[in-house]
């Protein structure tokens, strides 16, 4: 199978924060890969806009070096890189001042798709939106891409929504959550809604529970100050894990269209029960030979910010009543893994004798490190000697069946940027969704603060605090082992 590259209309893309870490590691290398795939029109233009004084040549050198560092060798073609860099330029712009804005207004074409990527600190999102409007740079069809974090609580997220809404309509605002750009996340929707096989079973009658895990091996070293004001609840649960929960639990939308999908996701968040303290375990990593403790990394010896969280939540609707969703995320854990694991119930009655054991189907949707999906099914162990049952994985990625191109999955940022250019908001968060998620998490955080809860210390390289294991043991279940 040859992968299909759907051409996009020509565009001017301005990357505010075009010299920053995210632009260097993800956005610009991703755009080069789209160029290489033949998806970027030859007259499309990318403008790096940031505070530093650079000229076009200096910026092209900076981007060329980023490609050297972050694009695999087999995709680095000198001529192609030079042609890509030709489509780039740079402008010094001060998000909080006047420098560069008039120049930007004359530079940007009015007769093509305009996209403005806010790859800057969240404190500048409002300043940039306001100036794009004030200097008449953006128009009714321009798109803005807003990075995370989108607020730190309901109040700040609402205020940010209001500031953006003063200059842009909701259909112009693309709040990015790169987890939604993962191939497997979209595959989850395909598997659920393009097969008759799963949807009839996708409910509390047949699904015992769901586990969503996002674990990292690294700590917060280097950005401890920032992280200490955030913590795992704000940094990971409120956005990434809740988005994965929504896609797993939502009702089938009437069509695969931005508002239909986002309406269904919003209903899931609104149906979440409030959590009680016994539903949550918070942790902070200790020190080991490989690195300092969270308290040392954060440079705040009294910090009560969590670097780990595990929680049990329930969705109060007909589909899910009685099926818990367990969410877990943390730093300095055993392995780097992001996965959704759906545990089906056992058959209501086994016709086989006790030696056959008890078996249940498990569907694993893996986002990291290697994207893929498999279903554990029970079969007869081959050979003579009676009926022995064995669980085997059924690979559902079918990468081999689709040919080698299917393994060359575009990075989430590449896909999402192209969706912005196409004007497709399906994989971006809507303002009311983000606010609903904060509305659910705010009281939980406020509860910890009011009680002065201290996170439990856990061993680096482990699966988190013992209490997190107990959270499932109490329910007669166990976490899937964290392994890459
Ligand atoms: P960074 O500090 O590396 O870069 C910031 C950029 O903003 C620089 O280009 C800088 O010149 C520019 N800038 C700062 N002040 C400015 C001003 N007054 N006017 C114009 N430009 C100004 O930050 P980053 O790591 O690239 O992060 C950018 C955004 O992306 C943040 O919102 C961050 O939370 C988010 N994000 C980053 C990552 C990542 O991996 N780096 C991942 C997810 C989200």
Residue (of 444, 473, 468) closest to 456 by Cα position: 468
Measuring from atom 4 of ligand 1, which residue has the nearest CA?
20
Q: So what's the pLDDT on residue 407?
A: 62
Measuring from atom 9 of ligand 1, which residue has the nearest CA?
17
Residues 6+ apart with CB under 8 A from 318: none
Quote the CA–CA distance of 252 and 249 in Å, as a whole number: 9
Catalytic (active-site) positions? 240
Q: So what's the pLDDT on residue 389?
A: 87
How far, in Å, from the CA of 19 to the mean position of ligand 1?
A: 8
Q: So what's the pLDDT on residue 4?
A: 66
How far, in Å, from the CA of 26 to the mean position of ligand 1?
A: 12
- 69, 121, 130: which to mutate for ligand 1, most atoms within 8 A of CB? 121
Q: So what's the pLDDT on residue 395?
A: 83
Atom of ligand 1 nearest to the CA of 178: 43
Q: So what's the pLDDT on residue 369?
A: 86
How far, in Å, from the CA of 104 to the mean position of ligand 1?
A: 19
Residues 6+ apart with CB under 8 A from 133: 166, 167, 168
Measuring from atom 1 of ligand 1, which residue has the nearest CA?
20
How far, in Å, from the CA of 53 to the mean position of ligand 1?
A: 16
How far, in Å, from the CA of 250 to the mean position of ligand 1?
A: 33
Q: So what's the pLDDT on residue 331?
A: 98
Q: So what's the pLDDT on residue 406?
A: 62
Residues with CB under 6 A from ligand 1: 16-23, 50-52, 93-96, 119-122, 124, 147-149
Atom of ligand 1 nearest to the CA of 122: 32
Q: So what's the pLDDT on residue 396?
A: 79
Q: So what's the pLDDT on residue 2?
A: 47
Q: So what's the pLDDT on residue 372?
A: 86
Structure tokens at 264: 């269904």
Taking 70 as the pLDDT cut, the residues of the chain under it are 1-4, 398-408
Measuring from atom 41 of ligand 1, which residue has the nearest CA?
22
């Amino acid at each position: 199978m040859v992968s299909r590259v759907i051409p996009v209309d020509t565009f001017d893309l301005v990357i505010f924060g075009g010299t920053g870490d995210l632009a260097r590691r993800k956005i610009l290398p991703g755009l080069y890969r789209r160029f290489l795939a033949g998806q970027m029109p030859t007259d499309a233009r990318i403008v790096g806009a940031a505070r530093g004084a650079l000229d076009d040549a200096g910026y092209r050198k900076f981007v060329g070096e980023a490609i050297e560092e972050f694009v695999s060798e087999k995709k680095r073609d000198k001529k192609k890189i030079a042609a890509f860099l030709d489509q780039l330029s740079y402008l010094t712009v001060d998000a909080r001042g006047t420098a560069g804005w008039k120049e930007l207004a004359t530079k940007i074409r009015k007769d093509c798709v305009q996209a403005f990527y806010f790859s800057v600190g969240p404190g500048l999102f409002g300043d940039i939106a306001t100036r794009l409007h004030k200097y008449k740079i953006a128009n009714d069809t321009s798109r803005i891409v807003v990075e995370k974090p989108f607020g730190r609580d309901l109040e700040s997220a609402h205020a940010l929504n209001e500031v953006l809404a003063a200059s842009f309509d909701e259909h112009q605002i693309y709040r990015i959550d790169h987890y939604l750009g993962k191939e497997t996340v979209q595959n989850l929707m395909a598997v659920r809604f393009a097969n008759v096989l799963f949807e009839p079973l996708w409910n509390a009658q047949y699904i015992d529970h769901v586990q969503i895990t996002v674990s990292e091996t690294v700590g917060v070293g280097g950005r401890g100050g920032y992280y200490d004001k955030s913590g795992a609840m704000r940094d990971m649960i409120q956005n990434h894990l809740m988005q994965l929960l929504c896609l797993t639990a939502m009702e089938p939308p009437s069509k695969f269209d931005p508002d239909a999908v986002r309406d269904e996701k919003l209903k899931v968040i609104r149906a979440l029960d409030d959590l009680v303290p016994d539903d949550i375990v918070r942790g902070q990593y200790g020190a080991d030979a490989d690195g300092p403790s969270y308290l040392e990394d954060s440079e705040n010896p009294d910090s009560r910010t969590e670097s780990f969280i595990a929680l049990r939540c329930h969705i109060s609707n007909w589909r899910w009543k009685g099926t818990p969703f367990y969410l877990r995320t943390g730093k300095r854990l055993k392995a780097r893994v992001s996965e959704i694991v759906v545990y089906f119930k056992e058959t209501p009655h086994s016709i086989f004798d006790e030696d056959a054991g008890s078996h249940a189907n498990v569907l694993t949707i893996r986002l990291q490190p290697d994207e893929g999906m498999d279903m554990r099914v029970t079969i007869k162990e081959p050979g003579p000697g009676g009926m022995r049952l064995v669980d085997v994985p059924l690979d559902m990625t079918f990468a081999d069946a689709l040919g080698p191109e299917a393994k060359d999955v575009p990075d989430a940022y590449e896909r999402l940027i192209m969706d912005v250019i196409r004007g497709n908001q399906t994989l971006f968060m809507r303002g009311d969704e983000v606010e609903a998620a904060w509305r659910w998490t705010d009281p939980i955080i406020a509860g910890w603060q009011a009680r002065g809860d201290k996170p439990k210390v856990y061993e680096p390289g482990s699966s988190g605090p013992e209490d997190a294991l107990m959270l499932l043991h109490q329910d007669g279940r166990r976490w899937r082992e964290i392994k890459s």
